[in-house]
């Protein structure tokens, strides 16, 4: 039953370029707080993107769009066919769209809502510099014109909020909803003694693809040498697995490749670890690792993890920097007691501040303002 004090009373529509598997749980959780229901319209990614997508939702309604991908790299644009038909069919009271000006059908959808006097909220990472080269001469003006269409903006981080504000969007209409991929933990973290066991355990969990930079993790562990005797456990599968296993044979032969694990299968691996490391970008498993009381080392990205990984519970390191990764691992493993305290802080952050329930709460609060 929807709680009227913490729910949106109408019908909500959400546009996405693609429906990623990790976002499905959030949409279903948000749907529980929408009295009139929630519908998501999204298309498919380009095959080379290797994005895991969902083809259905448990509670929300899913309406497939047809994505037309135009150009590549910095020139990339996307036109989504079917948005207006979806809006006419669902007839929502509010619309949330990705605040990305590269999606060419979005302005038409916004216009459809505005003609009916209904609010449209943009949702995005922020507004880092850079635009298609054909629009470079007026990057700021182009973005400002696009953002002015929205009644409010939702962003993942304080950095994103600052970027939107720097473009002139009213600060009192910018709201931070920290990016969450997991619900609030339902059980306490596993007990870890103040000292390491025979060998400290470093854990990586995720899809084995180039942007995760597991190759750097193998090289960093090798660089630490016998002075830091550690156990490296790599859980996951993906297009880079064979190449990484070949690299491990020549750089760090003791690395353990466990393969893909999901759900309850992951419990023993998270519980046995001392430190979670993600050298590259992405990484939905970071929040899950934190729910098991693990401190984290991860590569700096687009700001979505600025509020998640802090000095109190981990380290963000420059991307693609082997020396920084090596020295940070060395520093982390130099003091087991400090690492345990950082793990406690990791758990507190995902239990109290950054989880699906908190993210849903921010969305509902914003929807009810407009």
Helix/strand/coil (H/E/C) assignment for every residue in 132-146 = CHHHHHHHHHHHHHH
Domains of the chain with bracketed CATH: 4-180+355-367 (3.40.50.2000), 201-352 (3.40.50.2000)
pLDDT in tens, 324-368: 999 999 999 999 999 999 999 999 999 999 999 999 999 999 999
Among residues 280, 275, 289, the alpha carbon closest in space to that of 322 is found at: 280
Strand 66-70 relative to strand 77-81, pairing: antiparallel
Question: How many Cβ atoms sit within 10 Å of the Cβ of residue 145?
Answer: 12
pLDDT in tens, 38-72: 999 999 999 888 788 999 999 999 999 999 999 98
* Of residues 250 and 280, more confidently modeled: 250
Rounded Cα distance, 112 and 107, in Å: 9
pLDDT score for 297: 97
Average pLDDT over residues 317-329: 94
Q: Which residues pair with 297 in a beta bridge?
A: 277, 315
- What pTM did the predictor assign? 0.87
Contact 121, 153 (CB under 8 A): yes
Please name which of 12, 7, 39 lies closest in space to residue 118, comparing C-alpha atoms: 12
Check residues 228 and 234 and name the one with the higher pLDDT: 234
pLDDT > 90 in the chain, percent: 79
Q: Is the pLDDT of residue 234 over 90?
A: yes
Alpha-carbon distance 301 to 323, whole Å?
Answer: 18
Q: Give the C-alpha separation, 172 to 154, whole Å.
A: 11
Phi/psi-derived region of residue 225, left when phi > 0, alpha when psi is between -120 and 50, beta in every other case: left
SS3 278: strand
Of the pLDDT bands very low, low, confident and very high (cuts 50, 70, 90), residue 302 is low
189: DSSP letter = P
pLDDT computed for residue 139 by the predictor: 57
């Amino acid at each position: 039953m929807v709680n009227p004090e913490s729910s949106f009373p109408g019908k909500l529509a959400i546009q996405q370029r693609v429906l990623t598997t990790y976002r499905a749980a959030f949409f279903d959780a948000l749907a529980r707080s929408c009295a009139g229901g929630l519908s998501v319209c999204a298309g498919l990614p380009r095959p080379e993107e290797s994005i895991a997508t969902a083809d259905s939702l448990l509670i929300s309604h899913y309406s497939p769009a047809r994505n037309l991908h135009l150009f590549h790299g910095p020139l990339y644009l996307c036109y989504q066919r079917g948005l207006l038909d979806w809006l006419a069919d669902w007839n929502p009271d509010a619309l949330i769209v990705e605040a990305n000006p590269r999606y060419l059908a979005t302005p038409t959808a916004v216009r459809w809502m505005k003609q009916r006097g209904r609010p449209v909220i943009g949702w995005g990472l922020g507004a880092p510099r850079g635009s298609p080269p054909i629009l470079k001469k007026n990057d700021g003006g182009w973005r400002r014109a696009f953002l002015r269409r929205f009644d409010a903006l939702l962003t993942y981080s304080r950095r994103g909020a600052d970027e939107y504000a720097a473009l002139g969007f009213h600060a009192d209409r910018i709201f931070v909803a920290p990016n969450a991929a997991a619900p609030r933990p339902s059980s306490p973290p596993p007990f870890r003694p103040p000292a390491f066991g025979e060998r400290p355990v470093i854990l990586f969990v995720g899809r084995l693809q180039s942007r995760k930079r597991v190759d750097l993790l193998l090289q960093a562990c090798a660089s630490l040498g016998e002075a830091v005797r550690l156990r490296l456990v790599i859980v996951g599968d993906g297009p880079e697995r064979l190449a990484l296993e070949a690299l491990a044979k020549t750089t760090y032969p003791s690395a353990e490749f466990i393969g893909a694990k999901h759900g309850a299968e992951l419990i023993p691996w998270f519980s046995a670890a001392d430190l979670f490391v993600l050298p590259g970008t992405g990484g939905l498993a970071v929040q899950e690792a934190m729910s098991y009381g693990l401190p984290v080392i991860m590569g700096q990205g687009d700001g979505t993890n600025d509020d998640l990984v802090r000095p109190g519970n981990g380290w963000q390191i420059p991307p693609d920097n082997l020396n920084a990764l090596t020295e940070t691992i060395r520093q982390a493993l130099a003091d087991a007691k400090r690492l345990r305290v950082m793990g406690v802080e990791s758990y507190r952050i995902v239990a109290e501040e950054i989880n699906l329930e908190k993210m849903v709460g921010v969305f509902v609060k914003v929807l009810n303002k407009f």
